[in-house]
Amino acid sequence: MAKIVMLVAALSGAASQLLGAFGSHILDEGLSDYHLGVYEIAVRYQFYNTFLLLALGILLLIYPSEKGFKLSAVLVMAGMFIFSGSLYLLALTDIRWLGAITPIGGVAVVAAWLLLAYTTSQLITEKVQVQREK
């Protein structure tokens, strides 16, 4: 799982860079300020989520069987695709109902952060208990 997560993070980082450059050098002349702003939000949050995914990949290298980290990574990947993907499409096509899908991706990423917090807290608690028993 760590390999897949790290691969998706790396590809997402490259795509974010390329999409950002595409937006600032090519789309800036063809899109309205509103649509360009939507596009920039999609790129920005894709980058943010890429860093979270990268961190989860590293955690999965350390804790390969930790289900909380696995589920968190799946939620980030799905959330990033839905959130940024719907915004990219909205910016490029002006199909307004796509904006209604965007929060679903945002909720998935928030759930991933909360699951990461819970899982990390559980691991720390377990380590502290083991240290106390020694």
State the DSSP H helix or E strand holding residue 123, giving kind and residue range, or none if neither: helix 102-133
- Every domain of the chain and the residues it spans: 2-133
User: What is the spatial distance between Cα 74 and Cα 77, in angstroms, rounded to a whole number?
Assistant: 5
Supply the pLDDT for residue 77. Answer: 98
What amino acid is encoded at 78 in this protein? Answer: A
Q: What percentage of the chain has pLDDT greater than the value 90?
A: 85
Residue given tokens 């807290």 in the structure block: 121
Q: Mean pLDDT throughout 20-38?
A: 88
Q: Under DSSP, is residue 95 helix (H, G, I), strand (E, B) or coil?
A: coil
For the segment 85-102, what is each residue's pLDDT rounded down to a tens digit?
A: 999 999 999 999 988 999
User: What is the spatial distance between Cα 119 and Cα 76, in angstroms, rounded to a whole number?
Assistant: 15
Half-sphere exposure of 111 (CA within 13 A, CB side): 18
For the segment 57-70, what is each residue's pLDDT rounded down to a tens digit?
A: 999 999 999 999 99
Q: Mean pLDDT throughout 36-45?
A: 96
Half-sphere exposure of 66 (CA within 13 A, CB side): 22
Residues 36, 23 contacting (CB under 8 angstroms): yes
Supply the pLDDT for residue 127. Answer: 82
CATH topology of domain 2-133: Four Helix Bundle (Hemerythrin (Met), subunit A) (1.20.120)
Residues 51, 12 contacting (CB under 8 angstroms): no
